[in-house]
Amino acid sequence: MKAAGWTIFVGLFLGAALLMAQNLGYRQDPGWKAPAKAAARKNPLAGRSDVIAGGKKLFEQHCIECHGHSGQGLGHAADLQLPVVQRQSDGTLFWKITTGNARHGMPTFSGLPELQRWQLVMFLRTLPARKASR
Ligand code: HEC
């Protein structure tokens, strides 16, 4: 009986740890939507694969505490590998990084130089694609 209790306890613990380690259950906030004009903005660094390493550094400095090393999302932070995130335009991702979503715990990064924000978008595009049905 005691052993069964432990098994359940350890099982629940591992399950919770797994849920914390990535955020597959992430649902976008329908109220956090880039205006059409912002979404249509072109990435001035498009095609510049040389800026990706710098984007990775910026990501490590500013983002991994919430999104994890590979953007998988810790706690309730967005899993940036999900198709629902990656399907969006560069302009949309740039706008979301710029404005943040204070209500849901995503800080604003309008203080970072614009080109660094575009550089972050370039890095986000290199994250492994999550195979999810969403
Ligand atoms: C303090 C924690 C935290 C930090 C630091 C943080 N984020 Fe976020 N981020 C979040 C949360 C939480 C969400 C989900 C917000 C929501 O539910 O609407 C999010 C959402 C996002 C989204 C939008 C995903 C979508 O649904 O389209 C992007 C893109 C993003 N973050 C990029 C970044 C980048 C790039 C950085 C670093 C410059 C960063 N975040 C730093 C917590 C954080």
Tell me whether residue 133 is in a domain.
Answer: no
Pocket of ligand 1 (CB under 6 A): 28-29, 32, 62-63, 65-67, 76-78, 80, 85, 88, 93, 96-97, 101, 104-107, 109, 120
The domain spanning residue 78 has which CATH number?
A: 1.10.760
Tell me whether residue 129 is in a domain.
Answer: no
Q: What is the pLDDT of residues 95-126, one digit of tens each?
A: 999 999 999 999 999 999 999 999 999 999 99
Tell me whether residue 130 is in a domain.
Answer: no
| Dist. CA 39–CA 3, nearest whole Å | 55
Tell me whether residue 119 is in a domain.
Answer: yes
- Give the pTM: 0.87
Q: What is the pLDDT of residues 44-74, one digit of tens each?
A: 999 999 999 999 999 999 999 999 999 999 9
| Dist. CA 53–CA 58, nearest whole Å | 9
Cα–Cα distances (Å) from 109 to 77, 90, 94, in that order, read 15, 16, 10
pLDDT at 20: 57
Domain that holds residue 101: 2-124
3-state SS, residue 56: helix
Report the share of the chain in percent with pLDDT over 90: 77
pLDDT at 69: 95
